[in-house]
Amino acid sequence: MVVTGSELVRGDRRDANGPFLATELSGRGLQPARILLVGDRPNELAAALAEGIEADFCLVSGGLGPTHDDRTVETLATVAGRALTLDKELEREIE
């Protein structure tokens, strides 16, 4: 699992998502190998996601908000060599 957020790495906030998700996955027969906490710096996030996509299953928590430092989606696309596309209908629903 990759849990993102500079506030977690700085110690401003305790990671509750990682342990919760690990418990949920374990209860469904999946055994997480590790929980990787990473800040919002693009190079550190890219390294963590690159490692994650090599696994059989990678769960990402965090970094999906509306602030300027939430770059998980863009970074994952870059690491995976994929282009992002915008779903206009979904965008209208969200607005």
pTM above 0.85, yes or no: no
pLDDT for position 94? 84
- And the tokens for 48? 């963590």
Element containing residue 84 per DSSP (H, E): none
Is 50 exposed, middle or buried (CB count within 10 Å of its CB: 0-12, 13-18, 19+)?
Answer: middle
Local confidence band at 16 (pLDDT 50, 70, 90 cut-offs):
very high
- And the tokens for 26? 């374990």
- And the tokens for 75? 């970074």
pLDDT for position 43? 94
pLDDT digits (tens, 9 = 90+) for 26-83: 999 999 999 999 998 889 999 999 999 999 999 999 877 667 777 888 999 999 999 9
